[in-house]
Structure 1
């Protein structure tokens, strides 16, 4: 027999597609992904799904979601890293889903920008109530962040880079590397720091991949008008960005 709460939710009139809020579910467990999607749709949301953090971030960069539901224990890039990266370009409400619900885990999530937590296994009633509570909170608009280094400008939210006003085409990884460097000008970043910042804490790979992508990024910068290349190699340590370049 269906839950009375689910039945009540199902009878709510849905908003027209143009005015319905949107939600993204980042969850690799199909059972919980289906349950979350059903509850959100019954609550009036248009729902998209992603089975990994990387795909979720890609979707969030394309769509301006009102709510993002993130499983902490995602394969590869974990939910904490996804939340941290989301907060660099979106003000969407974020609800973390965890199987543990420890106080330490919640503190980490809240510090990274999560709005609420739900512990597995959760009831449809609880999840619906948490979503409704978060939904009532106003989304705080994020001030545009544009970083400038000489003639180079990096729009964090828009993920755009221009040199002397001319757009510079970068890959996702090249942009993320440049964004990390411009966030702390003159700081020397080790290869492991850049690797963690761009690929995530749980990703295992050769650190030399950082050198390859930095090399590609620098070639593009040198080919741009005025040949700006504020990135310098610090022998034996890593890379840094010269803020006065």
Structure 2
């Protein structure tokens, strides 16, 4: 099941969108402001974000900017504005699509379906595995010994990168580019924090890791011998 974060401060609109998402078989989560949206995003795994631009406090452009620092998740912007400059600004910041209010919920569902299909093609391998770890790319879930381990979007992207590039020594800069894209402008030491949290979740003994090994002065290597 695809999980979608809906960021919309007008309850009438969000109720309609959530109902249509449910009817389409998606799991919708509502955030009613920018701060709440970032809290949900950093603590959960989502496949797509519907993001309203005009919100009090932290607006949609600011939320999009923060999301793009750690993730290339597909984002559809919702806006009542039709000025070309707003669209260009959103696309420049990494938005994947725009829907102008008032919109047809059916059209929105078609756009969501098309974007999900492009982002998560069914003909690609759906499971990555290493030892007793399995990563389901479609559901964005991580399993160890067939038991689900809850991970954030950033942690999911990190473990995916490690498994794909297993037994390769990667610098922090390489990890940032591979996991989060060249446009990621976070600090390389952010990777250390992500690795620490991931070790707490997947290692039997985080102090004696079996999966993620530190290469002092260089970066990290996943799997193989120390």
Structure 2 match to 1:69:
51
> 5+ residue gaps in structure 2?
21-27, 54-59
Question: Conserved in 2, the CA contact under 8 Å of 1:161 and 1:167?
Answer: yes
Structure 2 match to 1:181:
162
Residue number among 142, 147, 153 corresponding to 1:167 in the alignment: 147
Mapped partners of 2:191, 2:4: distance in 1: 33
After TM superposition, the score normalised by the length of structure 1 is: 0.51
Structure 1 match to 2:86:
101
1:139 is the counterpart of 2:113: yes
Structure 1 match to 2:38:
54
Mapped partners of 1:130, 1:179: distance in 2: 36
Question: Conserved in 1, the CA contact under 8 Å of 2:71 and 2:180?
Answer: no
Once superposed, what is the RMSD of the aligned Cα atoms?
A: 4.8
Query: Shift in Å at residue 215 of structure 1?
Result: 4.3
Question: Conserved in 1, the CA contact under 8 Å of 2:141 and 2:151?
Answer: no
| Corresponding pairs, count | 191
Mapped partners of 2:214, 2:142: distance in 1: 24
Q: Which has the larger radius of gyration?
A: 1
Structure 1 match to 2:101:
127
After TM superposition, the score normalised by the length of structure 2 is: 0.54
Query: Shift in Å at residue 188 of structure 1?
Result: 1.0
Structure 1 match to 2:220:
239
Structure 1 match to 2:172:
190
Distance 1:42 1:104, change over 3 A: closer
